[in-house]
Amino acid sequence: MAEIKVPELAESITEGTIAQWVKKVGDRVEKGEFIVELETDKVNAEIISEEAGVLTQILAEEGDTVLVGQVIAVVEAGEGAAPAPVEAKEETAPAQEAPKAAPAPVEVEETSGERVIASPAARKLAREKGIDLAAISPVDPQGRVRVQDVAAHGTAPVAQAAAPVAATAGPMIFTPAGETDRVTVEKMSRRRQTIAKRLLEVKQSTAMLTTFNEIDMTNIMALRKRKQEQFVKANDIKLGFMSFFTKAVVAALKKYPYVNAQINGDEIHLNNFFDIGIAVSTEEGLVVPVVRDANAKNFAEIEKNIAELAGKARDKKLGLNDMAGGSFTITNGGVFGSLMSTPIMNGTQAGILGMHSIVNRPVAVNGEVQIRPMMYVALSYDHRIIDGKDSVGFLKTVKEMIENPEDLLLNS
């Protein structure tokens, strides 16, 4: 018999949430095979079985919070016999060494008199919503009611749900009687909770200020058009704007090193490396994988690195090493149509560059009004480290580099 435990992922990670079981009780499991996905506040991790056999017990349901070291499943020798009856889970539970493990689904006598099998998390949510578990139609073919089933069933009458809501610490949300269907309650994912917490910490612990400029994209767009076919043939990847902006940021950081710094207590740490975080939007929120040593990479290497990291982010394959560290961040709200924004700094970094939509606007060029493709850019920075002179100078340097892209190519 082999116990499947939540592994140690990183020193700062102590718990996670069961995101998805890819195996069910009775399935054959090979050694090293991925059986469950664990969601943590940083990354999603795939937990494997260290032994071959049959998955005989699942001790934590999807949506349950589990601790590092906790037993969440049991694999026994065998060839994949039919799944054991669900009722047997409770009988075998005392034999496990883990009262610390989340309890298995158990049968519950509901108000309708029917016997219902439900996970602890589902029962808890049903109690909070005042929903009779027997009235829920589960998706699970074995008839187990899970959190998703309860959430999809809808909300209960206000009178039943009022007591749990009143006990919460936050302000109450008023919903008119008989109109509970106007609100859908959705629990924040662990990652979304972490994102919210960290962004709030940055706002509260830094003297954040934002300065703006605008960039004429005419020359860089013309250069990309001229060189695109040649670049793709040579490197098997398109030449995008991000490699230009990454190179421009590195050049500006070298000129204004305090923008590449961070505060540690009463010390300022000036980073002598250029690990540039690139914000990537995923279904679960924004993540910031890091392009390491961007100063030492050419345009093709940066484009490939960004494409690889973005793909891993969207496939939930990012590792902790992909996101650790980083000395400065670039975020591009322009891909979603944002014209202007004030981005929030990432972690302990002192600055973040915000890119935005390219819009044709009338501008004065050599005394004449011309229509040019223009982009607003924003630098949010920690005013405790960076003064106005450096922040404005940094952004002006980025502007000059992008408006004269040949200089970036020659210096790379």
Catalytic positions, written as ranges: 383, 387
Report the DSSP beta bridge partners of residue 347.
none
Alpha helices in 206-295 (DSSP H): 218-235, 241-255
Q: Which of 230, 203, 331, 239 has the alpha carbon at shortest distance from 277?
A: 331
Task: Give the whole-angstrom CA distance, residue 155 versus residue 170.
Answer: 20
Task: Mention every residue, 6+ apart, whose C-beta is less than 8 A from residue 94.
Answer: none
Phi, psi of 358 (to 5 degrees): -90, 120
Distance CA 279, CA 332 (A): 7
Q: How many CA atoms lie within 13 A of 158 on its CB side?
A: 12
**Helix residue ranges, H only, 28-117:** 88-92
Cβ of 90: how many Cβ atoms within 10 Å? Answer: 13
Q: Which H or E run includes 123?
A: helix 120-129
Element (H, E) at 16: strand 15-21
**Residues 36, 20 contacting (CB under 8 angstroms):** yes
* Token pair listed for 48: 């494997």
Q: Of 362, 353, 359, nearest to 339 (Cα)?
A: 359
CB-based contacts of 388, cutoff 8 Å, min separation 6:
211
SS3 state of residue 346: coil
Backbone phi, then psi, for 371, in 5-degree steps?
-90, 120
